[in-house]
Amino acid sequence: MRLRDLGIGIGSLEPGVHNAITDVAGISVGHAQIAGRDAGVTAVVPYPTEVAERELFIGRWSADGGDNMTGLGVAEDFGTFSTPILLVPAPAVGRTYEALIAYGLDRDTGLSTDAGWPPIVVGLDDTRANSAAWTYGAFEQEHVAKALAQATSGAVAEGNAGIGGGLQAFGYKGGVGTASRRVGQYTVGALVAANGGATGDLSVDRYPVGVQLPAGRGEGPQDFAAILATDAPLMPRQLERLASRGGVGLARVGLWGPLTRTGLVLAFSTRGMFPDGGSEAFEPIRPQAADSSSIEVSEPMRPVGEEALFALFAGAAEAAEEAVLNALLQATATGAMKILPQGAWPEAVRAFQKRAP
Amino acid sequence: MSRRSDIGRRAFLGLGLGAAALPLLGYAGRLGAAPVVKKRVRLRELGIAIGKLETGAHNAITDVEGVRVGHLTLIKGEGPLVVGEGPVRTGVTAILPHGGDLTREPVFAADFTLNGNGELTGMGPVRRTGLLGAPLLFTNTSSVGAAYDGALGWMLERNPDLFAGSLQPEPVVGETWGAFLHDTTGRHVKPEHAVAAIDAAASGPVAEGCVGGGTPMRAYSFKAGIGTASRRVPCGERTYAVGVLVQANFGRRPQLLVDGVPVGREIPDLTPERGKTKSMLVAVATDAPLLPVQLQRLCKRVPLGMARTGAISTQGSGDLILAFSTAQKMGLAKPLAMLPNRYISAMYQGVVEATEEAILNSLTMAETMVGRDGNTIHALPLDRLVEVMRVYGRLK
């Protein structure tokens, strides 16, 4: 069940068709489980695999200044990336990196600035469900290949899917969730690996749900990762700002709190602002089509001004918050991790939203 | 399921250490047209000294007490490139801040990116906490994942609670691109090679040139690789050590300067047929009690040492620098010490000099190497280097 199935939405903007990060054209998401257990990886593929190579702009926001993330040098210094983004258990980072190098080499033995390098791998703490030693032993590069091969646009599996299998949030079963918002002519989507947070901090559209719930498991991971995507032609600094608004949404729902150890939000734009065909000429930047086989060179891209940017910020915060709640509601109980009790809170939230729209 | 294969560590170690100590005997016959292979020596042994500060006992990063360096070198095959088979010209260089319990007794650290087209994993915990609790590994571009995987296994074996603590250190793995000589696509470095490099880490003299991660690398269109140097830095009543280790893979020939002398313009020949190199990985160690904020300032002086050898940092460069201080483990267990900032300029002097000399040592110690498809990178001819320095009046 997703949040909107309870008659509850977050914020005022309209979601996209699937209310998922895949509402941003060209993006696909794939999951793979490890050895049939509640463990796995999730891949966000930023452009169709038929596209040989594409550099996209990226921005990063970090709750605590440092996260388990590879590919940092290029992402931070150039503000670009070109590989799938993999969310994996921390002990699987090395093998995932290796798998993405293989994926890149399959596409281009040059391995220079293109589809294979540097891989962006985000490690998450799923040791509430899986010991580090087990994951280190059981994880195979094939899991990454499987997640990439299964990546699809359209509806996205949530809850225990992929990296969601081993996550815990607000003392209950966490997981993967997604949501999106339409902002004028653009779309912004979020995919969150909900991991961490304290039961009492859970809040739904500003209504304090957590304090009314029985306390879940007190200890556990305190790291989360979120990916924001948009088709608005944002530059790296603008994407950093967008990412920070993802953090605002995550704070509002209570996932980002005082005890958060690593909280990472990556924001990227699918509108590659790099001239097609390697033209050296100085010409206005034109948008690239999502599908390389039908590049339409249209009007030069106009920069997104501050006003439109702030509308996107609102969408990013709303989508990130709703994605967390979708993760919780879609998750299923595993081992010692129970699902978030429903009880009376949905009705209370609906009543609250009527009183304070 | 263990990730370890059956490949014996000892076999690789033997190969690695042998390669570090000997010229490439297997290629002696193929070097006929190249300059005669002569004994390679360090810059100072040629009568060329950089800067004004004294070096440590070994003029190496290991002059910082406790610091250990190990190489695992993989050299195999010759002839045309066959992906997955070779020729293999690669390896791993491991730097350990100390010989103790690294993951439970981390040291202060900071990093700096001069140009970001590279990889240095594990910067999350370093930036978050200012602490380094992992080995530092240098290898080639396609082997980052394998080296990370091996190092993480090594860490988990020693500390099964690695992910239960608040630090959660991650392996620090950096890379440069060595495809001109090496079958990069074949990804020959396996996790156990990283472990072997870590296990081989020792204090004392450090093998330089075509060893470990530096095996296929080149600088200023000469063969290069690993280089190291150190300085003793007087700070009031105390003298601290600062040491630098580089994996040098950058620079165009005309740029090369040695102690200010335009050696690259004086020796324009012996360039490889093609290819460019760009990147520089640097580890800086000191026993001065520097806090992370000071270590980051120290990192920023490394590019000044690089610039004194002539290179600029290019679009394709992954010029990534990590500095750590061995003075304090964990930092919080005892009252914190901090080098007064009035001494930090002296530390800067030390790190700039040591960086310049480490890069030049990587050049003077590296042997000519033939790799895939017969691709050859020539060593800097030391007799000609000495002659140029003599003409410019810069020999001691």
Of B162 and B3, which is predicted with more confidence?
A: B162
Contacts 24+ apart (CB under 8 A), A201-204: A201/A170, A201/A254, A201/A257, A202/A170, A202/A253, A202/A254, A202/A340, A203/A252, A203/A253, A203/A254, A204/A3, A204/A8, A204/A10, A204/A253, A204/A325, A204/A345, A204/A349
Range with lowest mean pLDDT among A53-57, A289-293, B104-108, B287-291: A289-293
Q: Do B121 and A96 touch (CB under 8 A)?
A: no
Q: What is the pLDDT of residue A109?
A: 58
The total number of residues shown for chain B amounts to 396
Provide mean pLDDT across the span A213-227: 91
What residues of B are labeled active site?
A: 279, 317, 319
Residue B162 has what DSSP assignment? T
The yes-or-no verdict on residue B39 having pLDDT over 80 is: yes
Residues of A with Cβ-Cβ distance to B146 under 8 angstroms: 94, 98
Give residue B145's pLDDT band: very low, low, confident or very high (50, 70, 90). Answer: very high
Q: What distance, in Å, lies between the first and last C-alpha atoms of chain B?
A: 59
Cβ proximity of B95 and B119 under 8 Å: no
Give residue A48's pLDDT band: very low, low, confident or very high (50, 70, 90). Answer: confident
Q: Do A137 and B1 touch (CB under 8 A)?
A: yes
- Rounded Cα distance between A132 and A86, Å, is 18
Q: How far is A49 from chain B (nearest CA, A)?
A: 21
Provide mean pLDDT across the span A162-178: 97
Q: Do A132 and B156 touch (CB under 8 A)?
A: yes
Q: How far is A89 from chain B (nearest CA, A)?
A: 11
Range with lowest mean pLDDT among A74-83, B235-244, B385-394: A74-83
- Rounded Cα distance between B391 and A10, Å, is 76
Q: What is the pLDDT of residue B16?
A: 39
Q: What is the pLDDT of residue A281?
A: 45
- Percent of chain B surpassing pLDDT 70: 90
- Rounded Cα distance between A150 and A222, Å, is 29
Cβ proximity of A174 and A328 under 8 Å: yes
Q: Do A68 and B170 touch (CB under 8 A)?
A: yes
The yes-or-no verdict on residue B5 having pLDDT over 80 is: no
Maximum separation of any 2 CA atoms in chain B, in Å:
63
Comparing CB atoms, the residue among A68, A91, A117 nearest residue B124 is A68
**Which SS3 state, helix, strand or coil, does residue B324 take?**
strand
> Any chain B CB within 8 A of the CB of A91?
yes
Tell me the pLDDT tens digit for each residue of A121-146: 999 999 999 999 999 999 999 999 99
Q: What is the pLDDT of residue B125?
A: 94
Tell me the pLDDT tens digit for each residue of A300-344: 667 888 889 999 999 999 999 999 999 999 999 998 899 999 889
Q: What is the pLDDT of residue B166?
A: 77
B42-56 as b/e: b if 16+ CB within 10 A: bbbebebebbebebb
Q: Which of B391, B386, B24 is nearest to B223 (CA)?
A: B24
Q: Do A132 and B118 touch (CB under 8 A)?
A: no
Tell me the pLDDT tens digit for each residue of A257-311: 998 999 999 999 998 655 444 444 445 555 555 554 444 445 566 788 888 999 9
Candidates A69, A77, A124, A224, partner chain B, best to mutate (most B CBs within 10 A): A77
Provide mean pLDDT across the span B297-319: 96
Nearest chain B residue to A100, by CA = B145
Of B262 and B336, which is predicted with more confidence?
A: B262
Nearest chain A residue to B126, by CA = A66
The yes-or-no verdict on residue A96 having pLDDT over 50 is: yes
Q: Do A136 and B156 touch (CB under 8 A)?
A: yes
**Which SS3 state, helix, strand or coil, does residue A296 take?**
coil
ipTM of the modeled complex: 0.89
Q: What does pLDDT average to over chain B?
A: 90
Query: Strand pairing of A120-124 and A85-89?
Result: parallel
Q: What is the pLDDT of residue A36?
A: 86
